[in-house]
Structure 1
Amino acid sequence: MTRAHLDKQPQDVAAMFDDVAAKYDRTNDVLSLGQARLWRRAVADAVGAVAGQRILDLGAGTGTSSLPFLEAGADVVPCDFSIGMLTEGKNRHPELPLTAGDATRLPFADESFDAVTISFALRNVQEHEAAMREMLRVTKPGGKLVICEFSTPTWTPLRTVYTEYLMRALPPVATRVSSNPEAYVYLAESIREWPDQPELAAELQRAGWTKVAWRNLTGGIVALHRGFKAP
């Protein structure tokens, strides 16, 4: 089985997600104690897609995160660089136009989308600031970016408990429910090393996004970051 490391070599990350594709969604539901579905709904609400809009869902994996946009009547393009994830997604959701693509070199024209969203995937991109600039490039003027990513709990006792869960409880649980438990060791490490809410907001601003803000979910275990492309 493949596992990625914190240098996030693209081929290793892609191979790791290929390994876990079949059980990925179910494993996430178990490891998040059911919170993953609530987080997906919060993303859909934050994007606020309406009929006629074109939405890019980056790091879409099997396409589960894209379904709310499709149900809203939007033209959604799920994009991921794991062929294993896309193949699994195509089997489950043949109605979705799943597309292979690298977040740092997106295969789309300038100003193609009304909104771009990425959930629990930016952390796995080796050059995530380059990805932020690419997302800006493909967004229409006035368009929106919504990032959903693991972050830093704001309440110290929760932060302590959460860190203990990540490093001690998550790997054994993953061993029972995942096809590649080593992938979830990487998951825990990458969450611990990820920038906190203000740091990520500052990176978004450096990449050119305006009106940057964030909202904490589940006490800051997850944060929704938002930005807009200047009109």
Structure 2
Amino acid sequence: MQLAEQFDRAADRYDLLTRLNPGYHRALRRAADALVGRLHGAASPLTLWDLGCGSGLSTDAVLAAAGPDTRVIGLDASAGMLAQARAKSWPPGVSFVQALAQDLPEVAARELDGPADGAFAAYLLRNVPEHQRDEVVAAVRDQVRPGGWVALQDYHVKGDRVASAVWTVVCWGVVTPLAFVVRGNPAIYRYLWRSVLDNDSTAQLTARLEHAGFTDLAWSTAGGWQRGILHTVLARRPS
């Protein structure tokens, strides 16, 4: 089964499961605040991408940080997740597009007249095939204006044995059992466990971003059990 179809099957329980994850929404908001803070000199209202928007939780974090007049284009490959997102109440400037991250240039040509001010991408690149990640990073760069910023948030544990062990314990001891209890398609959470272990290390993602020409990279990690596991990186497209 294709990955997007697995997310489709998990979509109607996804928000419930995230509410059971301490710090999930707080981490999204902190990353969105950091992105918008870097764009304080931009013309208002902002235009922002929300790449891998899923059920719209990250979209909500972006709007809370940037304000309801913000133009936000959410992109996701899962029809089920986007159905959940579209069912929520949004200001007029929010729209959602079903597409792969690899299709960003074509989507941008249809949706916008020029590059956006910035891009937010939570839990995106891990779900892109490794051989296409550089292509996606370059596409994100091209769809952000010179001087604009991107914020990428995801789990990165490769090369850290302690973080990998904690991640495994949490996935198999907490996340997957909860998915069974709430009928949230446990298969997608088994995939989540493995995909995080295989995801880029912070050093590998740094190299991808620098190779694409991004500068001023700033890394941070979450608190609590996610310390050293959940990371956010901010990066700027040079003017």
In structure 1, the partner of 2:148 is 143
What is residue 23 of structure 1 aligned with on the other side?
13
Tell me the C-alpha RMSD between the 2 structures. 2.2
Say if 2:51 and 2:75, in contact at 8 Å, map to a contact too.
yes
Please say which of residues 99-108 and 160-169 is displaced more in the overlay.
160-169
Q: 1:84 to 1:158 in 2, by over 3 A?
A: closer
> Would the aligned equivalents of 1:143 and 1:229 in 2 still touch at CA under 8 Å?
yes
TM-score by length of 2: 0.83
| Structure 2 residue identity aligned to 1:187 | L
Q: What SS does the aligned partner of 2:101 have? A: coil
Q: Distance in 1 between matches of 2:218 and 2:159?
A: 16
Deviation at 1:133, TM superposition (A): 0.8
Cα contact 1:23–1:179 (8 A) shared by 2: yes
Query: Counterpart of 1:99?
Result: 97
User: What is the CA distance between 1:142 and its match in structure 2?
Assistant: 0.5
Counterpart among 69, 74, 78 of residue 78 in structure 1: 74
State how far apart, in whole Å, the 1-side matches of 2:166 and 2:61 are.
32
* Residue of 113, 119, 134 corresponding to 1:116: 119
Contact 1:153/1:220 (8 A) holds in 2: no
Assess if the C-alpha contact under 8 Å between 1:201 and 1:214 holds in 2: no
Partner of residue 29, structure 2: 41
Q: Deviations over 1:181-226 (max 9, x none)?
A: 1110000000111122122111111122122231111212210011
Are 2:52 and 1:56 aligned? no
SS at match of 2:171: helix
Assess if the C-alpha contact under 8 Å between 1:63 and 1:98 holds in 2.
Answer: no
Partner in structure 2 of residue 213 of structure 1: 218
- What amino acid is aligned across from residue 108 of structure 2 in structure 1? F
Cα shift at 1:141: 0.5
Matches of 1:46 and 1:153, distance apart in 2: 25
Bigger CA drift: 89-98 or 100-109? 89-98
Cα distance 1:158–1:18, how it changes in 2: closer, same or farther (>3 A)? Answer: closer
Query: Does structure 1 conserve the Cα–Cα contact (< 8 Å) formed by 2:17 and 2:179?
Result: yes
In 2, are the aligned partners of 1:170 and 1:188 still within 8 Å (CA)? no
Which residue number corresponds to residue 179 of structure 1?
184
User: CA 1:41/1:70 → structure 2, altered by over 3 Å: closer, same or farther?
Assistant: closer
Residues 115-144 of structure 1, C-alpha deviation per residue, up to 9 Å, x if partnerless? 011001221112222111110111100100
> Which position in structure 2 is the counterpart of 1:198?
203
Q: Is the 8 A contact 2:158 2:199 kept in 1?
A: no
Normalising by structure 1, report the TM-score.
0.86
5+ residue gaps, structure 2: none
CA gap of 1:175–1:134, structure 2 versus 1, over 3 A, is same
Change (3 A) 1:111 1:215: farther
8 Å CA contact 2:156, 2:202 repeated in 1: yes
Q: CA separation of 1:139/1:70 partners in 2, compared to 1, >3 Å: closer, same or farther?
A: same
SS state of the match for residue 70, structure 1?
helix
Task: Give ranges in structure 1 of 5+ residues lacking alignment.
Answer: 3-11
